[in-house]
Structure 1
Amino acid sequence: MPLILSTLTILLLAYTLHKLRRAHLLLFELRDQSRQDNADLFRQLEALQGLYAELDLKTSLPPTRGWAASPDFLLELARHARTARPLSVVECSSGASTLVLARCMQLNGAGRVLSLEHDPHYAAQTRAQLRHHGLQDWAEVLEAPLQEHTLGGDAWSWYGTDDLPDGLSIDLLVIDGPPQATGSMARYPAGPLLFPRLSAGASVFLDDAARSDETAVVQRWQREYPALVHATRTCEKGCAVLTKPI
């Protein structure tokens, strides 16, 4: 009997020590995650402050959390647009990025943004924001319902492009839609439908590039458009940049 009690006591102590160790490890993980979350939040606040400073915004932007483009991605767009000074900008989806790019065109004194938006509600919201910021002359939201496009023998649901001007040469293409729920590799059609319109030296910015779907899309674009130079930017949700050589 004493031997059994001793064995049970040892087993109970071993189990208790194991649970305590697991609890300590969990606490360390929670501490590290909290530190990382705070660092990420601070980075976004820094980027948002930088965005307001660089664009001299007097009125607040729409929310930049959730599905919206993050401040660090918007700041990357703004810095590129202010430096490269694109005259023709096309967006896939509309929102805060439309305002940022339109403000860049205004500050540059030249250029225009055309934003493809499949949702009439969001299109109306962005137009109202453009008017609120006095940027309606620098950007236009085109209602572009999702249509079936046959590409490479497969059917894809993507924006209609009928309202894009004939002969349009794109200096900057920003891809932040359609939503992932549209289907697998939902943003792939931007390649075959819009890349042929890129001007020499044009850049393509893809948001959410850290997601597996977007990673697969970029890899496919690289195979199909090997002349485009691929780079990445450090952003919360990932940012891929493709540049057409001059």
Structure 2
Amino acid sequence: MRLVWGKILSLIRKLVHWIRRNFLFRFELSRVARQPSLLYDKKTLSRLVYYWDNPWSAREEYLSGIIDFLSNFSCPVLECGSGLTTLIVGELLKDKKVSLISLEHDEQWVIEMRRWLKRYNLGHVQIQHVSLKKYMDFDWYDVEERIVDFPSFGCVICDGPPGSTRGGRYGVLPVMKGKLNNQGVVFLDDAARPGEKQVLKKWSNEFRIEDIHFYGSSKPYACFKFKRA
């Protein structure tokens, strides 16, 4: 009986923890929606990351770097994977009339994220459900039938597909290179992981990329410019 009650209490604590964090996240994001300048406040970003409570989520340093870059940006943005970054960039671009297209392979997560977008009136953000497809020596989002309808992107936020995917995040350049602006900027999260290091090395060997910089201490990310051949 004591063991059963222990499990029940543990479940109750987890539920209370989730309810509290969910409430506080919505509170913070609502503040940002009313006052977008809060996106430039690192304490606000840190709270959003903490309350989002996802171990795979972007960190404050990465979000801050993207926000600083996009603050005077006017071209469509492509995001690989969706989550906290989607909501924050969506809020940043809301008044700029700049579109954000996010590719996501997890159907249930797409449904959840679309609820968030609807709740905060982020109609300029599109989350497209696309399965992962086998290409030559890598797997990536199956966008071949819809790529013709995509705009030209000036920025790529690369947080997906998952690192366990064959080829990791490599596919964004070979598949999307025709839709990336010359001198377009790519942000790559988790740049210190072995898989991402290998992807960066392969991109450097196969594509014209320049001005590669690494930022962040807790979870480093890379930023570089893509040049069309």
Range of TM-score over shorter length: 0.7 to 0.9
TM-score, normalised by the number of residues in structure 2:
0.73
Larger radius of gyration: 1
| Per-residue CA distance 1:214-245 (angstroms, 9 max, x = gap) | 01110111111134331222253211112136
Deviation at 1:54, TM superposition (A): 2.7
Instruction: Indicate the RMSD between aligned Cα atoms, in angstroms.
Output: 2.7
CA contact (8 A) 2:82 2:104 kept: yes
Q: Does 1:66 align with 2:51?
A: no
Q: 1:116 aligns with which of 103, 121, 134?
A: 103
The one-letter code of the counterpart of 2:87 is L
Q: For residue 93 of structure 1, what is the aligned residue in structure 2?
A: 81
| Per-residue CA distance 1:128-178 (angstroms, 9 max, x = gap) | 11111221x22000001011112xxx2x22111133443631111111111
Give me the whole-angstrom Cα distance separating, in 2, the residues matched to 1:114 and 1:240: 21
Name the CA shift for 1:241/1:100 in 2 (closer, same or farther; >3 Å).
same
Give me the whole-angstrom Cα distance separating, in 2, the residues matched to 1:114 and 1:239: 21
| Per-residue CA distance 1:30-88 (angstroms, 9 max, x = gap) | xxxxxxxxxxxxxxxxxx9x99723698xx676154011112211211111113x1321
Name the CA shift for 1:208/1:134 in 2 (closer, same or farther; >3 Å).
same
CA contact (8 A) 1:229 1:245 kept: no
Correspondence list, 1:1-246, <5 A: 53-54=38-39, 63=52, 65-83=54-72, 85-107=73-95, 109-135=96-122, 137-150=123-136, 154=137, 156-161=138-143, 162-166=145-149, 168-183=151-166, 185-244=167-226
Secondary structure of the residue aligned to 1:140 is: strand
How many residue pairs end up in the alignment?
189
Give me the whole-angstrom Cα distance separating, in 1, the residues matched to 2:155 and 2:53: 21
Give me the whole-angstrom Cα distance separating, in 2, the residues matched to 1:118 and 1:238: 24
Give me the whole-angstrom Cα distance separating, in 2, the residues matched to 1:166 and 1:130: 22
Q: Give unpaired runs (5+ residues) of structure 2.
A: 1-28
Name the CA shift for 1:131/1:165 in 2 (closer, same or farther; >3 Å).
farther
Identity among equivalent positions (%) equals 26
